[in-house]
Amino acid sequence: MGLEKLVTIHRPHAGHDRRIAVFYLHGGGLLYGERDDLPRTYIDRFTDGGYTLICADYPLAPESPLPAIVDAVFELWRNAVAEKVLTGEYKGYFLFGRSSGAYLSLLLAREISRRGDKLLPAPLGVLDYYGYHTLADSAFSRPARAYTALPDIPRVQVDRIAKSDGTAVTSGPKSMRYALYVHARQHEGAWLDLLGLAEQGGPSAPEDWSLDGRDVAALPPLFITASSTDEDVPFRLPKTLSRTAPRAVMKPVYNLPHDFDRDTVDPTGAHIYDQAIEWMAEHSRTGSA
């Protein structure tokens, strides 16, 4: 599939172009979601700040297992961002993700570092919005209270929704695929199963797709935000990452839902984005990575 079918590019005004890209990955538990889910008010904050915002689709589970998703994200980043940095079109870039997109952004930062090619440009930083850096936490294998309170989604319904003909799905509207995520969070081990991950110690175990201490120590600067009452991702996970990563700043919010920035009437989301833009401007100047 061509690059133009997987990304939407929002460009700054020509006279206010920093020539710095922001590579955005949407959330949805790796099971649903679309690249154009970012509210316009937040898009405008990036472009008004002089940044080129590149919003990307990527393969979704269960049609694609997590290892294949990560490989596809890496290749998409290489084509949409890295090659343009190497040719001088962009002077640098940030990674940005919300929820599972933040998780993928952290994995992508790890892959860029791990693959050992010194020609690959490192990110100036990562914007981690209510994400997570591990799948090995027990919260992701046991049923989640917020979802067991909903009507049960049985496996047979999952099988009706997911494509079984080997076709990769790269865009999944919430209205069509949200039931996959509800099922994943209602049943013991269901999320890891849908991601194609084996139990602990297997050939493709959750630990393999989690950042260890060495990975965290090698991360670029991080801007982390999450809500204290997040019903999807335990607040302790972003707190732990912010305390253990060497160059991290955390901007918590309180008593709001997981994706608190979805409500654009509440000024909290806009305030966090304004802080993120200020943080990006600082790291754009210093070029720290």
Give the pLDDT confidence of 99-136 residue by residue, as tens digits.
Answer: 999 999 999 999 999 886 667 999 999 999 999 999 99
What is the arithmetic mean of pLDDT over 165-184? Answer: 96
- Looking at 126-266, list the stretches that DSSP marks H as alpha helix, in order from N- to C-terminal side: 145-148, 155-161, 174-186, 190-194, 213-217, 236-244
Token pair for 145: 């209270």
What is the arithmetic mean of pLDDT over 74-89? Answer: 96
What DSSP designation does 123 have? P
Higher per-residue pLDDT: 166 or 101: 101
Confidence of residue 3 (pLDDT cuts 50, 70, 90): confident
Confidence of residue 199 (pLDDT cuts 50, 70, 90): low
pLDDT of residue 119: 78
- On the question of pLDDT at 232 being above 60, the answer is yes
pLDDT of residue 166: 86
pLDDT of residue 285: 80
- Local structure of 224: helix, strand or coil: strand
Around Cβ 258, how many Cβ atoms within 10 Å? Answer: 18
Give the pLDDT confidence of 177-196 residue by residue, as tens digits.
Answer: 999 999 999 999 999 999 99
Token pair for 153: 């989604």
pTM for the structure as a whole: 0.96
pLDDT of residue 215: 97
pLDDT of residue 276: 98
Do 96 and 127 touch, CB atoms closer than 8 A?
yes
- Local structure of 220: helix, strand or coil: coil
Confidence of residue 13 (pLDDT cuts 50, 70, 90): confident
pLDDT of residue 4: 72
Token pair for 270: 């806009």
> What is the side-by-side strand order in the sheet with 222-225?
7-10, 51-56, 20-25, 92-98, 125-129, 222-225, 248-250
Token pair for 15: 């006279």
pLDDT of residue 270: 98
Q: Which helix (H) or strand (E) holds 24?
A: strand 20-25
Token pair for 167: 């076709």
Phi, psi of 54 (to 5 degrees): -110, 105
Rounded-to-integer distance, Cα 30 and Cα 10, Å: 23
